[in-house]
Structure 1
Amino acid sequence: MDTPLRLEVIVASVRPERFAPVVADWFLRTLRAHDEFDTGVIDLADTPLPADLTEIPEVADYRARLAAADAFVAITSEYNHGYPASLKTAFDTAKHEWRAKPIGFVSYGGLSGGLRAVEQLRQVVAEIHMVSIRETVSFHQAKKQFDAAGETQDGAAIDAAARMLRQLSWWARTLRVARNVDPYPG
């Protein structure tokens, strides 16, 4: 299976004046150096998922994208020591499409850098049968970590991104083969 791994990057924040595009654009530029991934972006600000989880045509399209993916990265902020409600809705809108697939996290926020949100998300993704990548990219005091061009000199985040993507690639390849040889029983 030499085809590129389909990676969907989920941008979680939907707030009007969100910082998410800065972090997402940086991560996507970083990701371009990894040609093993065929990357798509699911920006939840532009993805109409009903909070009451009703079935609408856009939900079917969303689930089809998830089903076609080999791996995911969620770019999330931290609100009140937790993750955005839009991200929980995104997880709850699908079920089987997530199973036996890896997910990495890029978080940002104040002093914690979004790490409290990520720790809560690890519980959520375990429940929907995903594999959470141990390495996390985290931006503490995020607005101070990027220059006007959207670049960062945060060496810890740059290093973590490289390690996370190597781990994500390994898990995505391994689980894609496993799903094809022996479909996940969940």
Structure 2
Amino acid sequence: MDLITAESTATAMTENAPVKVAVILASNREGRFAPVIADWFLAHADGHPAIETEVVDVAALDLPTALAYRLEASTRELLADVSARLDGADAFVVVTPEYNHSYPAPLKNLIDWHRAEWQAKPVAFVSYGGVSGGLRAVEHLRQVFAELHTVSIRDTVSFHNAGARFDDEGRHRDPAGPDAAVKTLLDQLVWWGRALRAAKRAHPYGG
């Protein structure tokens, strides 16, 4: 195999490698419904042959709520770990409820502690709530992530009156619509994840 062929083969393998998706659970409230939605989403995402997932749960993090220049060693280690997990992702999916017409404060805190980790990557949204299905939270998040140079996926998955949509085993009572929506979201996420991953290699973002 000559050098050009080897390079072409390596490039093709890299381009077709699974898209690493960080699935961010945005709620840390006691009694939250987020795990039900996240488990439903992960069951679909983990079954997609082109996706690898890692969960980043704000409830499991203990990020400081004030952006400070002087941090304790344990806090610096925590931030370094979270930063590495976000930086290693090719794409993001935010699973978010809607609080007072917007998204949860712990999610904004996670976003604000990082910058380059988000850049030139796609982000998709799975939302839930009452009559709005969390869509007002999603619209606010699009503005925030645009500032961080991400590409937000147009198509979402949203659950209106989410608590009534799932049974006690976490199964959706009428899955046809959500199943079709999540397939579209995942296919778009893979396309954007691979396209932006390749683009960053050709011309490193910000470089």
Identity %: 52
Alignment of 1:1-186 (within 5 A): 1=14, 2-54=16-68, 55=71, 56=75, 57-152=77-172, 153-185=174-206
Q: Please list the CA deviations of residues 108-136 of structure 1 after superposition, one character each: whole Å capped at 9, or x if unmatched.
A: 00000000000000000000000000000
Using the size of structure 1 for normalisation, the TM-score is: 0.97
Larger Rg: 2
| Contact 2:46–2:52 under 8 Å retained in 1 | no
Using the size of structure 2 for normalisation, the TM-score is: 0.87
Q: CA deviation at 1:93?
A: 0.8
Q: CA deviation at 1:155?
A: 2.9
Distance (whole Å) between structure 1 residues aligned to residue 41 and residue 135 of structure 2: 17
Distance (whole Å) between structure 2 residues aligned to residue 21 and residue 159 of structure 1: 21
Distance (whole Å) between structure 2 residues aligned to residue 128 and residue 36 of structure 1: 25
Q: CA deviation at 1:154?
A: 4.0
Q: Please list the CA deviations of residues 1-47 of structure 1 after superposition, one character each: whole Å capped at 9, or x if unmatched.
A: 13221110000000011000000011001112202111100011001
What code does the residue aligned with 2:133 have? G
Q: CA deviation at 1:50?
A: 1.1
| Contact 1:145–1:154 under 8 Å retained in 2 | no
Write 1 or 2 for the structure with the bigger share of strand: 1
Distance (whole Å) between structure 2 residues aligned to residue 49 and residue 130 of structure 1: 22
Greater mean deviation of Cα atoms: 149-158 or 27-36:
149-158
Distance (whole Å) between structure 2 residues aligned to residue 48 and residue 115 of structure 1: 27
Greater mean deviation of Cα atoms: 24-33 or 155-164:
155-164
What's the RMSD between the two structures over aligned residues?
A: 1.1
What code does the residue aligned with 2:186 have? L
| Contact 1:76–1:84 under 8 Å retained in 2 | yes
Distance (whole Å) between structure 2 residues aligned to residue 4 and residue 162 of structure 1: 16
Greater mean deviation of Cα atoms: 3-12 or 112-121:
3-12
Structure 1 gaps of 5+ residues are: none
Greater mean deviation of Cα atoms: 123-132 or 147-156:
147-156
